[in-house]
């Protein structure tokens, strides 16, 4: 337990690179000032609907990419 693992799959086998980036991105969003969010909201509202649809489809593709069907059993079930 005290060893230093060099690979993420040994530490957290369910966390893929895409999920790790999503978690890091979510953490980074907490560090952005509110005024940036307000400007982004205003910019989003003035964008044309087709461009908004493309952005939302790309976001859905990202969510689909981070989803995984494979699960790793709970560690205590192995004992």
Q: Tens-digit pLDDT profile for the chain (79 aa)? A: 455 455 555 666 677 777 788 888 889 989 999 999 899 999 999 999 999 999 999 989 988 877 766 666 666 766 6
**Does the global pTM surpass 0.85?**
no
Q: Quick one: pLDDT at residue 58?
A: 95
Q: Quick one: pLDDT at residue 67?
A: 73
Contact 68, 12 (CB under 8 A): no
């Amino acid at each position: 337990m005290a060893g230093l693992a060099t690979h993420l799959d040994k530490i957290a086998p369910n966390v893929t690179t895409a999920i790790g980036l999503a978690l890091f991105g979510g953490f980074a969003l907490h560090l952005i000032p509110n005024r940036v969010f307000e400007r982004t909201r205003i910019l989003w509202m003035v964008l044309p609907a087709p461009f908004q649809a493309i952005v939302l489809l790309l976001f859905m593709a990202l969510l689909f990419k981070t989803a995984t069907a494979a699960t790793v059993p709970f560690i205590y079930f192995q004992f």
